[in-house]
Structure 1
Amino acid sequence: MTSERAAATVLDDIDARPGSTASLLRTLVGLFLRPLGGWISAADLVALAGDLGIESAAARTGIARLKQKGLLIAERSGPIGYRLNPAAISMLERGDRRIFRMREMTDADTWCLVSFSIPESARSIRHQLRRRLHWIGAGVVSPALWICPGHLQAEALQILEELDARRWATLFQASAPVVAGSLVEAAAQWWDLAALRAEHLAFQESLTTLPDDPFAAYVQLIDRWRVLPYTDPGLPPSMLPADWPGRRSFDEFARLSAHLAGAAEEHVRARVGGRAHVA
């Protein structure tokens, strides 16, 4: 393992389509490698992928891509295997907080405004900044002024640092926005609430097609859910339509994940044959 690879920023794959080989493998790694001590044999990882319906050849190709993206590092510990890149830990921990403890704002919570002016010579950075701000759930007040919940300020700062764009941006903490119309109308302009609603309803519908096997059901549940806690900022009820489906989505996710997690962990313990421990 080179020091450059260990120090490199490892990002979540926001383009991996839920249910795809790439997305399922990333979810599998994110859920279980840390409790396993950070290392797993190649054979066990391929076997677990097979339990998700991924054929061996596709699994090996997908694992190689995770290695190329920096999430995994090839490491022999007796058998050939893979170690979780230490540089990925903070990304995965941040994901845990989002996925398992989705926050809903109240009217008393603060906001973070991100104002930036990036020169045309750095337009690729500007594009990446907007893309990653969208990924953490920020809304667009104007092309160069974005808004997100105040508790996401640290994530916004981290994005700016990673893109070397900090010198072009100023962050403000703010109380409730004062708008010309209603806050519900403003939220619908700043965020694509229609698309978010559709994502919530699609997630709820997908729960009817989870596999019977607890391990496969648990991994697929996390995989189908993991994008929503990022793209949905958890706006306060005062800024949302009365029939907003977000709370039901989280409640259903929390119920099912609590029901399936134990059996899924037991399955992984059995697969690794006692060579590691899943907490």
Structure 2
Amino acid sequence: MKIGYIGLGKMGLPMATNMRAAGHELIVHNRSQPKVEAFVADGGVAANSPAEVAAQADVICVNVPTPEISLEILLGTDGAVENARDGQLWIDFGTNGPDTARTCADAGSSKGVGYLDAPVSGGPGGAEAGTLAVFVGGSESSFAQGKELLDIIGGKIEHFGPAGTGCIAKLTNQMIIASIRAANAEAFVLAVKNGLNPQQLYETLMGAFAANRCMEVDLPNLVLPRDYSARFAVDLLLKDLGLALEVGRQSGVPLIATAQADQLYQEIRSKGWGDLDAAATFKRLEEIVGVEVTVPSSE
């Protein structure tokens, strides 16, 4: 199968690499040309535009950070739509709003193209291992057509319904991790302020009902080592929270905890920390309180 892959970032590069390793021919495009050159050096074909990708590929995968870029790649000037053909499939792995997914699905349908919104979760490690959670929206026929590729990149793949439902499912994930990271930060900063050892507390909580995936990943890898290099940046999470809040408004569902988390992350970005990891909730609360969640030097 000829796979077009557009977007070779932290997630897209390992996902495309796994598709190539599975025996598929890859036609790749990326705004940063060195990433394309490095990829095709190990096998694959470079394309100069999304339209050029579409002229060669049976399936086009898109993995970019914002809905605006997705729309540009698929429907804009020199976009995939210019060379779309009957029987082709578009898969968008980005986290977008459901309106973007439906717009792309409708545009593809007019050309005989299938469409899946298939945002993922699991971080670069999950992308490398091929164990991502994949939240899929689209027709049953498009899901069946794309399932072989989804199986390469995902460990947990769920089809939620028509176009847009995959995006909504992924946004629920983002709502939860934002609120949990705020709660984790509050709990550990409170503990350290009152003299507790955060390493000891972490080890205890991971065996308690409060254990959560964000705690498991963030504390030993980011917070305690004092390294907030982004695995998933504050700016991207804020984009997702904005999309979730808009869906909430459209649906008449009050998203109180999500709105509060959004306010905290807006404050974090205002400090100039938008490029830090979303675990920077700790960094902001530490600054306010005047403590650091780290293992005491005497230990």
TM-score, length basis structure 2: 0.29
TM-score, length basis structure 1: 0.31
Q: Which has the higher contact order (CA 8 A, sep 6+)?
A: 1
